[in-house]
Amino acid sequence: MIANAVSSQFSFFASLLLFACGAAGSLIFRKNDAAANFCGNAFAIAGSIAGLISSLLVLMFDSSFTCGMGSSLPLLSFSFNVDKLSAFFIFTISLISLFASLYAIGYVVHFYKKYNVGALGFFYNTFIAGMMMVVSANHALFFLIVWEVMSLSSYFLVIYENKEKRNVKAGSVYFVMTHIGTAFIMLSFLLLYAATGSLDFSVIKENIVNIRPVIKNLVFGLALVGFGTKAGMIPLHIWLPGAHPAAPTHVSALMSGVMIKTGVYMFIRIFVDMMSDVPVWWGMVIVTAGAVSALLGVLYALTEHDIKRLLAYHSIENIGIILLGLGSALIFLALEMKPLAALGLVAALFHTLNHATFKALLFLGAGAVISETHTRNMEAYGGLIKQMPQTAFFFLVGAMAISALPPFNGFFSEWLTFQSLFAGIRSLDITVQGVFILAVGALAFTGGLAAACFVKVFGATFLARPRSEEARHAGEVALSLRTGMAALAVLSLLFGLFSGTVAHLLSEVVHSLPVFNSTEAAFTANASLFKFNDNFASVSLPLIFVSLVSVTAAVFFLVHILTKSRKVRLGCTWDCGTHLTPRMEITATGFSRSIITVFRGILQPTQQYQIEYMDAEIRYFTKANRVRLEIKDMYSSYFYSPMQDLVAKISEYVKQIQGGNINIYILYIFIILMALLLLVI
C-alpha cells in the first residue's frame, strides 16, 4: 500500500518532469523542425504514459497521496493532493494526450517551414503539464498559478497559426474571457480565505462549517461564473467556438476534450467536496444552465458549416449534459438523498470520460480531413469515404458515440444521466420535479438534434460525390494519425462494452469523497450488467453489442445464401434522367435549414439578397444573385455587446481622472495621504 503510494507519487512527478523535458527539448531543437516535433511529442507520450500509470495506481489500488513543500513566499505552498477524483481526471488527461501526441507526430509535419515547431512543442507540453497540476493542486494560490500557466499556454497555442487573422481575433476573445473567469475565481478564493482563514484546500474543507450562508452563496455565484467560463457554460461560452477551431487539431482535441473538464473538476471539488449543507437552488441553477447549454449548443452546432466550429459547439452541448448530472447530484445532496447524489455524480464523471474520448476522436478525424483538403468548410468536402476509408470509419464511430447510439460509450452515459433525472422526478416535490421534467425534455431533444447534426456532418463530409477539386484529390492520411484515431475509436467501443466495470470504478471514485463515505450505492454494476438496487432499471451493454453483431451477421448471411444467384450491377445514381453534378447534392447548410426554420425564434436567421442586373435601368436580366444567410448570435447582440458598450462608457468617464495636469496628481496624493492619516487615527 505504501509502496503503491510512493510509486503513484513517483510516476506523477516523473510525468511532470517528462513534460518539462519535452518543453525544454522542443525549444532546444527549434531550429530543426523534425527533431523538435519528435522530441516534443515523444516526451509528451512518455509523460502521458507515466500519468496513466500514476492515476491507475491510485484508482485501482487506492494509493492516493498528498505532498507539499513550502516556498519562500508567504501564503504560497506547492501542495498536491491526488485523491481518487483527481486521479480520474489525470487518467482522462493522460489518455487523451497520449493519443493526441501520437496523432501529432504525423500531423505537425504540415507546420514544417511555416511556423515554429519548437514553440508548438514547448507550449503543448506546458499545457498538458499545467492541466495535470490544475487537477491535483491543493492550495488556492498554487492553483491560480498553474491555472494561469494552463490558460496562457493554451492562448499561445490558439494563436499559433498567426498568419490567419481570425485565429488571432479568436485568441484575443479567449484571452479576455479566461482572465475574466480567473478574476471571478480569485474573488471566490479570497472569500473562502476570509471565511476559513486558509488558502489550503484541505484546511478550507475542515473549516467550511463556520461559513455564513451569504458568503457561501456568493462563493457559489463567483465560482460558477469563473469555472463556468472555462467549462464553456452558456452564457459564458463565446470564446469557445472561436478558440477551439483556431488551435492546431491535436490541441483542439485536448482543449475540447480535457481543458473544459477542468472547470467541471473544480465544480465538483468546491461544491461537492469542500462545501457542506448546500442549498437546493444551487443544483437547480446548474441543472437549468446545463439544459440551456445542451439545447442551445446543439442548435448553434446545426447552423455551422465549419467543421471545427461545429465540433466546438457540440462540446458546449456535452458540457450541458455533464452539468445535468452534476446539478441533479447537488440537488440530491441538498435533500440528503446521498445514494442518488452518488448516481448523478457517476453519470457526470462517466460522461466526462466518454466525451473526452469521442470528442478527441472527432477532432482528430476532422483534422485529418482538413489536412488533406486544406479547408475547414464542409461545403467543399464530399465523397471522402472512398478516398479516406479508415478515417471515415473512425469518424463514423465517433459520430455514433456522440449521438448516443448503442453500443458505444455515449449511449451509456446518456442513459445514466437520464436515469438520474428520472430518479429526481420520482422522489421529490413539485417545484424541483418541474425542473427535472423540463431537463428530461431538453436531454431528449438534444439527443435527437445531435444525431441529426452528425448525420449532416458525416454525410456532407464523407458520403456522396466530391464537391470540390481538393476533395477529389484527397488521400488517406499517415499511419500515426490513423493510429491515434483508431486507438480512440477502440476505446469508445471498449468503454461502451465495459461500461458496467467503468461505472463500478467511478462509483468507488465518488464514494472516496468524504461526503459520500458511508452511503450505500444506489446500483450494482459489473462487467455484464448495470442494475439499480430498487429494480427501477437495468441495462447490459455487452448484450446489446452481442445481439446487434450476431443478428446483423445472421441476417446478412441468411440473405446472402438465399439470394446467391441474383446479380448486382453498377449503374448511375437515379436522377430522373438528368445529369447529376456535385452541386445537386445536399449541402450542410441545406440539410439544417429545416431545423433552423423550426427553431427560428431562438436562432433568428436572416436572409439578405443581393442582385446584380445586366442593365441597371432595365432591371430584367440578372447577372449575379447573392444570398447571405446569417444566424444572429443572441449572446453577442443582447449581452456582450451592451456590456462592452457599458464598460467603454464607464471608461470614458473614469478617463477624466487622468487630467494630464501634474498639479492634479499632487492633489490626489495629498487627499489620499490625509485620508490614510485620518483612518489610522
Span 393-452, contacts to other proteins by CB under 8 A:
396, 400, 403-406, 411, 415, 418-419, 422, 425-426, 433-434, 437, 440-441, 444-445, 447-449, 451-452
Contact between 281 and 330 under an 8 Å Cβ cutoff? The reply is no
Nearest approach, Cβ of 545 to other proteins (angstroms)? Answer: 11
Nearest approach, Cβ of 482 to other proteins (angstroms)? Answer: 18
Q: Measured from the CB atom, is 572 or 627 closer to other proteins?
A: 572
DSSP category for residue 357? H
Residue with cell 474543507: 205
Task: Determine the residue type at 188.
Answer: S
Q: Round to whole Å and give the CA distance between 27 and 56.
A: 31
Nearest approach, Cβ of 240 to other proteins (angstroms)? Answer: 23
Q: Measured from the CB atom, is 292 or 463 closer to other proteins?
A: 463
Hey, which residues between 569 and 588 contact other proteins (CB under 8 A)?
569-578, 580, 582, 584-586
Hey, which residues between 600 and 629 contact other proteins (CB under 8 A)?
none
Q: Round to whole Å and give the CA distance between 477 and 390.
A: 9
Q: Round to whole Å and give the CA distance between 139 and 75.
A: 9
Q: Round to whole Å and give the CA distance between 291 and 348.
A: 14
Q: Round to whole Å and give the CA distance between 247 and 372.
A: 17
Contact between 592 and 450 under an 8 Å Cβ cutoff? The reply is no
Choose the stretch contacting other proteins; rule: CB under 8 A; options: 173-181, 194-202, 326-334, 529-537.
529-537
Contact between 95 and 48 under an 8 Å Cβ cutoff? The reply is yes
Q: Measured from the CB atom, is 551 or 676 closer to other proteins?
A: 551
Collapsed DSSP state (helix, strand, coil) of residue 199: coil
Nearest approach, Cβ of 260 to other proteins (angstroms)? Answer: 25
Residues 6+ apart with CB under 8 A from 638: none
Nearest approach, Cβ of 9 to other proteins (angstroms)? Answer: 42
Nearest alpha carbon to residue 326 among 351, 298, 295, 356: 351
Binding mask 189-208 for other proteins (x = CB under 8 A): --------------------
Hey, which residues between 543 and 562 contact other proteins (CB under 8 A)?
543-544, 547-548, 551-552, 554-556, 559, 562
Collapsed DSSP state (helix, strand, coil) of residue 403: coil
Q: Measured from the CB atom, is 85 or 595 closer to other proteins?
A: 595
Residues in binding contact with other proteins, number by CB under 8 A:
85
Choose the stretch contacting other proteins; rule: CB under 8 A; options: 41-49, 169-177, 527-535, 656-664.
527-535
Nearest approach, Cβ of 458 to other proteins (angstroms)? Answer: 6
Q: Measured from the CB atom, is 18 or 366 closer to other proteins?
A: 366
Nearest approach, Cβ of 300 to other proteins (angstroms)? Answer: 15
Backbone phi and psi for residue 356, each to the nearest 5 degrees, phi listed first = -60, -45
Q: Measured from the CB atom, is 71 or 550 closer to other proteins?
A: 550
Q: DSSP characters for 630-652?
A: EE--HHIIIIIHHHHHHHHHHHH
Can residue 595 be called a binding residue for other proteins (CB under 8 A)?
Answer: yes
Task: Determine the residue type at 653.
Answer: Y
Q: Measured from the CB atom, is 126 or 413 closer to other proteins?
A: 413
Collapsed DSSP state (helix, strand, coil) of residue 67: strand
Exactly one of 180, 186, 527, 529 binds other proteins (CB under 8 A); that residue is 529
Can residue 598 be called a binding residue for other proteins (CB under 8 A)?
Answer: yes
Q: Measured from the CB atom, is 29 or 599 closer to other proteins?
A: 599
Q: Round to whole Å and give the CA distance between 293 and 316.
A: 6
